[in-house]
Amino acid sequence: MIRRGFFSLLPAVVAVVLAMVVTGLVIALTGGSAGQFYSTILSVPIPRVSVTIVNQTAMIAISAFAAAIAFRMNLFNIGVEGQYIAGSCAGAFFAGSGLVAGPAVIPATLVVAVVAGAAWASIGGFLLVGRGVSEVISAIMLNYVALTMAGYLVNRYGVASGYTFTTNPLELNQQPVGFQVVDGPYQVWALAIIAVLVAIGYWVLINHTRFGFDLRASGASSTAAAASGVDAKKMTLIAMALSGGVAGLVWMPAFFGSVHKFGIPENFQSGLGFTGLAVALLGRNRSIGILVGSLLFAFLSAQSNDLQSVGVAPEIISITQGVVVLAVVVAYEIVRRLQIRREQESVARELASARPTAEEASR
Amino acid sequence: MTAPAAAVVLTGIGKRFPGVVANHDVDVSIRPGTVHALIGENGAGKSTLMKILYGVQAPDDGTITVDGETVTFSSPTDAIARGIGMVFQHFMLADNLTVLENVVLGAEKLHGIGGGARREIRAISERFGFGLDPDVLVETLGVAARQRIEILKVLYRGARIIILDEPTAVLVPQEVDALFENLRVLVAAGNSVLFISHKLDEVLAISDDITVMRRGTTVGTADPATATRLQLAELMIGEELPSPETTESTVTDVAQLQLKGVSVFASDGREVLQGIDLTIHRGEVLGIAGVEGNGQAELVEAVMGMRTLSGGTIHLGTEDISGWSNRRVREAGVGYVPEDRHRHGLLLDAPLWENRILGHQTRKPNVRGLFVDRKGARRDTDRIVGSYDVRTPSIDTTARALSGGNQQKLIVGREMSGDPVLLIAAHPTRGVDVGAQAAIWDHVRTARHEGLAVLLISADLDELIGLSDRIEVILRGRLVGEFDPRRVTAQELGSAMTGGGEAA
CB A166 within 8 Å of CB A260: no
CB A49 within 8 Å of CB A110: no
Q: Considering chain A, what is the average pLDDT of its residues? A: 88
Q: What are phi and psi of B141, to 5 degrees?
A: -100, 155
Q: What are phi and psi of A174, to 5 degrees?
A: -105, 5
Q: Do B391 and A351 touch (CB under 8 A)?
A: yes
Q: What are phi and psi of A43, to 5 degrees?
A: -70, 160
- Give this complex's ipTM: 0.80
Q: Would you state the pLDDT for residue A360?
A: 37
Alpha carbons B131 and A63: distance in angstroms, whole number: 64
Alpha carbons B339 and B356: distance in angstroms, whole number: 18
CA-CA-CA-CA dihedral for A119, A120, A122, A127, to nearest 10: 140
pLDDT in tens, B58-115: 888 888 988 888 888 888 888 888 889 898 877 888 888 888 988 888 888 888 788 8
Alpha carbons B391 and B340: distance in angstroms, whole number: 20
| pLDDT of A231 higher than 60 | yes
A5 pLDDT band, cuts 50/70/90, is low
Q: Which of A217, A343, A354 sits opposite B397 (nearest CB)?
A: A343
CA-CA-CA-CA dihedral for A261, A267, A269, A271, to nearest 10: 110
Alpha carbons A322 and B81: distance in angstroms, whole number: 49
pLDDT average, residue stretch A73-90 = 93
- Please identify, in words, the CATH class of the domain defined by B8-237: alpha beta
- Report helix angle B115-128 to B143-156, nearest 10: 110
The CA distance from A37 to the nearest CA of chain B, in Å, is: 41
CB A345 within 8 Å of CB B18: yes
Q: Would you state the pLDDT for residue A1?
A: 38
Measured over the CA atoms of residue A129, residue A131, residue A132 and residue A134, the dihedral's sign is: negative
Residue B69 buriedness (CB in 10 A; 0-12 / 13-18 / 19+): exposed
B363: left (phi over 0), alpha (psi -120 to 50) or beta: beta
Q: Would you state the pLDDT for residue B43?
A: 65
Angle (CA) B470-B472-B477 rounded to 5° is: 160
DSSP string, B442-460: HHHHHHHHTT-EEEEE-S-
Residue from B341, B358, B411 whose CB has the most chain A CBs within 10 Å, to mutate? B358
Instruction: Please list every residue in chain B whose beta carbon sits closer than 8 Å to the beta carbon of residue A210.
Output: 361-362, 367, 370-372
A246 pLDDT band, cuts 50/70/90, is very high
| pLDDT of A122 higher than 80 | yes
pLDDT in tens, B268-327: 777 888 888 999 988 889 999 887 778 888 899 999 988 888 888 898 888 888 888 888
Alpha carbons A261 and B351: distance in angstroms, whole number: 48
pLDDT average, residue stretch B390-408 = 83
pLDDT average, residue stretch A45-71 = 94
Instruction: Please list every residue in chain A whose beta carbon sits closer than 8 Å to the beta carbon of residue B306.
Output: 226-227
Q: Would you state the pLDDT for residue A107?
A: 94
Domain ranges in chain B are: 8-237, 248-333+420-504, 341-418
CB A324 within 8 Å of CB A282: yes
CB interface of A with B, residues 335-354, below 8 Å: 340, 343-352, 354
The CA distance from B463 to the nearest CA of chain A, in Å, is: 25
CB within 8 Å of A340: residues ≥ 6 apart: B398, B400, B401
| pLDDT of A358 higher than 70 | no
pLDDT in tens, A126-176: 999 988 899 999 999 999 999 999 999 999 998 888 888 998 888 888 888
Domain ranges in chain A are: 54-299
Length of chain B: 504
Instruction: Identify the CATH number of the domain defined by range A54-299.
Output: 1.10.3470
pLDDT average, residue stretch B251-271 = 83
> What does the longest C-alpha to C-alpha distance in chain A come to?
95
CA distances from B334 to A347, B303, B321 (A): 31, 9, 11
| pLDDT of A198 higher than 90 | yes
| pLDDT of B246 higher than 60 | no
Helices vs strands, H then E, count in chain B: 17, 22
CB B210 within 8 Å of CB B37: yes
pLDDT average, residue stretch A247-261 = 93
DSSP β-bridge partners for residue B85: B162
Residue B17 buriedness (CB in 10 A; 0-12 / 13-18 / 19+): middle
What superfamily in CATH does domain B248-333+420-504 come from? P-loop containing nucleotide triphosphate hydrolases (3.40.50.300)
Alpha carbons A210 and A225: distance in angstroms, whole number: 13
pLDDT in tens, B434-473: 778 888 888 888 888 888 899 999 887 878 888 888 999 8
DSSP β-bridge partners for residue B195: B37, B164
pLDDT average, residue stretch A280-301 = 91
B364 pLDDT band, cuts 50/70/90, is confident
Q: Which of A210, A216, A346 sits opposite B393 (nearest CB)?
A: A346
CB B218 within 8 Å of CB B26: yes
Alpha carbons B429 and B458: distance in angstroms, whole number: 8
Alpha carbons A88 and A251: distance in angstroms, whole number: 6
Alpha carbons B238 and B245: distance in angstroms, whole number: 20
| pLDDT of B2 higher than 70 | no
The more confidently predicted of residues A3 and A6 is A6
Q: Is omega for the bond preceding B365 within 30 degrees of 0, making it cis?
A: yes
CB A331 within 8 Å of CB A17: no
B332 residue type, one letter:
A
A363 vs B: CB within 8 A: yes
Residue from A347, A353, A355 whose CB has the most chain B CBs within 10 Å, to mutate? A347
Q: Do B327 and A344 touch (CB under 8 A)?
A: no
pLDDT average, residue stretch A227-246 = 92
B503 pLDDT band, cuts 50/70/90, is very low
Q: What is the CA radius of gyration of chain A?
A: 23
Q: Considering chain B, what is the average pLDDT of its residues? A: 84
User: What is the side-by-side strand order in the sheet with B311-316?
Assistant: B271-281, B255-265, B311-316, B319-320
Q: Would you state the pLDDT for residue B307?
A: 87
B150: left (phi over 0), alpha (psi -120 to 50) or beta: alpha
A357 pLDDT band, cuts 50/70/90, is very low
| pLDDT of A356 higher than 50 | no
B259 residue type, one letter:
L
Q: Would you state the pLDDT for residue B401?
A: 82
pLDDT average, residue stretch B41-62 = 82
Instruction: Please list every residue in chain B whose beta carbon sits closer than 8 Å to the beta carbon of residue A209.
Output: 370-372
CB A274 within 8 Å of CB A81: yes
Alpha carbons B315 and B295: distance in angstroms, whole number: 19
Q: Would you state the pLDDT for residue B271?
A: 82
Q: Would you state the pLDDT for residue B244?
A: 58
Measured over the CA atoms of residue B359, residue B362, residue B367 and residue B372, the dihedral's sign is: positive
Which residue from B287, B178, B218 is spatially nearest to B62, judged by alpha carbons?
A: B218
pLDDT average, residue stretch B145-154 = 88
pLDDT average, residue stretch A72-88 = 93
Which residue from A105, A246, A256, A277 is spatially nearest to A177, judged by alpha carbons?
A: A256
CB interface of A with B, residues 194-253, below 8 Å: 207-214, 216-217, 220-221, 223-224, 226-231
| pLDDT of A93 higher than 90 | yes
Instruction: Please list every residue in chain B whose beta carbon sits closer than 8 Å to the beta carbon of residue A352.
Output: 20-21, 215-216
Instruction: Please list every residue in chain B whose beta carbon sits closer than 8 Å to the beta carbon of residue A217.
Output: 347, 350, 358, 361
B381 residue type, one letter:
T
Instruction: Please list every residue in chain A whose beta carbon sits closer than 8 Å to the beta carbon of residue B328.
Output: 229
B112 residue type, one letter:
G
Q: Would you state the pLDDT for residue A214?
A: 93
Do β-strands B371-372 and B367-368 pair in parallel, antiparallel, or remain unpaired?
A: antiparallel
| pLDDT of A354 higher than 60 | no
pLDDT average, residue stretch A180-208 = 91
Q: Would you state the pLDDT for residue A351?
A: 64
Alpha carbons A92 and A68: distance in angstroms, whole number: 25
Instruction: Please list every residue in chain A whose beta carbon sits closer than 8 Å to the beta carbon of residue B234.
Output: none
Q: How many CB atoms lie within 10 A of CB A181?
A: 12
